[in-house]
Amino acid sequence: MKIGIVGCAGRMGRMLVQTVVVTDGAEFGGGSETASSPMIGQDCGELAGLMPSGQMVTDDARSLFERVDVVIDFTIPSATADHARLAAETGTALIIGTTGLDATQQALIEAAAARVPVVQAPNFSLGVNLLMALTEKVAATLNADFDIEILEMHHRHKVDAPSGTALGLGQAAAKGRGVALDQVAQKVRDGHTGPRKKGDIGFATLRGGDVVGDHTAMFVSEGESVLLTHQARSRAVFARGAVHAALWTKGQPAGLYSMRDVLGL
């Protein structure tokens, strides 16, 4: 499978290039960056700290989509929306790791998924996807005497909050409880909030240093707590999951898939 990496000079982009070149069955098909990037024209391999790949960073995303089988996108929401359109127009499978998409951008992803296979996940690590499955199961098992809180911490550069993974855990907990997350989510608490509402799913966000991504789903009653925690120590876990998802799209019909579909969880 020939794999293209959009946003190849980003933190995840470089890690993805490193991962593609060492993965059996994967061939690096080139990388793109935003037109204003000083990295345009540089060798994608060298940018990722590897030997020269002979593939120069391009700002022509369309030509990249045309020459690869699947594109992996860990960029910014507006770029991801453009890339979804390109995936549909060129018939190229798309793997989306970008988080923080608004409803209009998400609708473009869904439109693309009617034409090509799209795997979208707020977190591509095996461990977090297991955590999501466990969170859904625990939420379905424990009654509403257990308050659900989702705690996350990320590095100081992260721009969206709560993290896409925290929201994904909230979705999993809400699904387990048979409720809609947007009816019960408490994403911010500040000032005189009054007592906690029974059935709410709360979120708390911490930011600092170089933390790759910590998430805990907490189930807290009067007298006992169940805490499910995942800690990512390297971005490599996300890159390995995304490349695995890219290879998995081969032969899949069009549709919007999650990492839980890819892993069969």
Which residues contribute to the site for ligand NAD (CB under 6 A)? Answer: 6-7, 9-13, 32-34, 37, 61, 74-76, 79, 97-100, 121-124, 238
State which residue, 99 or 216, has the beta carbon closest to ligand NAD: 99
Give 66: exposed, middle or buried? Use CB within 10 Å, 0-12, 13-18, 19+: middle
Between helices 126-141 and 236-248, what is the axis angle to 10°? Answer: 90
Nearest approach, Cβ of 129 to ligand NAD (angstroms)? Answer: 10
Residue of 83, 137, 158, 250 marked catalytic: 158
Report the helix count and the strand count for the chain, using DSSP H and E: 10, 11
Nearest approach, Cβ of 225 to ligand NAD (angstroms)? Answer: 27
Q: Examine the residue annotation and report whether 244 is marked as an active-site residue of this protein.
A: no
State which residue, 98 or 135, has the beta carbon closest to ligand NAD: 98
Nearest approach, Cβ of 17 to ligand NAD (angstroms)? Answer: 12
Phi first, then psi, for residue 48 (nearest 5°) are -85, 5
State which residue, 184 or 242, has the beta carbon closest to ligand NAD: 242
- Contact in structure between 205 and 163 (CB atoms under 8 Å): yes
In the three-class reduction of DSSP (H, G, I as helix; E, B as strand; rest coil), residue 120 is classed as strand
Q: Examine the residue annotation and report whether 198 is marked as an active-site residue of this protein.
A: no
Reading phi first (left if > 0) and then psi (alpha if -120 to 50, else beta), residue 218 is in beta
Q: How far is CA 40 from CA 56, 63, 70, 74, 218, in A?
A: 7, 15, 21, 17, 44
Nearest approach, Cβ of 79 to ligand NAD (angstroms)? Answer: 3
> Which single residue brings its beta carbon nearest to ligand NAD?
10
State which residue, 92 or 123, has the beta carbon closest to ligand NAD: 123
State both tokens at 152: 């996350």
Residue of 154, 215, 230, 244 marked catalytic: 154
Positions annotated as catalytic residues are: 154, 158
